[in-house]
Amino acid sequence: MIEAVVVKLAAGRYEVWVDGERHPVEAERRKQGGGSNESEDVLVAPMPAKVVRIAVAQGDTVEDGQTLVVLESMKMELGVTAPRSGRIKSIGAFEIGAIVPAGTVLVELEPAGSEERA
Residue 115's pLDDT band (boundaries 50, 70, 90)? low
Confidence of residue 111 (pLDDT cuts 50, 70, 90): confident
In a domain, 9, yes or no: no
pLDDT tens-digit readout, 9-28: 656 677 788 877 888 887 76
Length of the chain measured in residues: 118
Asked whether residue 99 is assigned to any structural domain, the reply reads yes
Region for 103 from its dihedrals, namely left if φ exceeds 0, alpha if ψ lies in -120 to 50, beta otherwise: left
7 domain-assigned: no
Q: Which residues span the domain enclosing 64?
A: 37-110
Give the per-residue pLDDT at 12. Answer: 67
> Residue 70: inside a domain, yes or no?
yes
Domain membership of residue 90 (yes or no) is yes
> Is residue 57 domain-resident?
yes
64 part of a folded domain: yes
Per residue in 43-54, pLDDT (tens digit) is 998 889 999 999
Give me the DSSP letters along 11-35. TTEEEEEETTEEEEEE------SSS
Better-predicted residue by pLDDT, 83 or 4? 83
> So what's the pLDDT on residue 117?
45
Q: What is the CATH number of the domain that holds 51?
A: 2.40.50.100
Percent helix, strand, coil in the chain (nearest 5)? 5, 45, 50
Q: Which of 47, 29, 37 is nearest to 10 (CA)?
A: 37
Instruction: Please give the mean pLDDT across all residues of the chain.
Output: 81
Q: Give me the percent of the chain exceeding a pLDDT of 70.
A: 81
Residue 25 lies in a domain: no
Q: 19 vs 110, which has greater pLDDT?
A: 110
The number of folded domains in the chain is 1
Signed CA dihedral, 59, 60, 66, 72: sign only: negative
Answer yes or no: is pLDDT of 56 > 90. Answer: yes
Between CA 65 and CA 43 the distance in angstroms is: 13
Other CB atoms within a 10 A radius of the CB of residue 61 amount to: 13
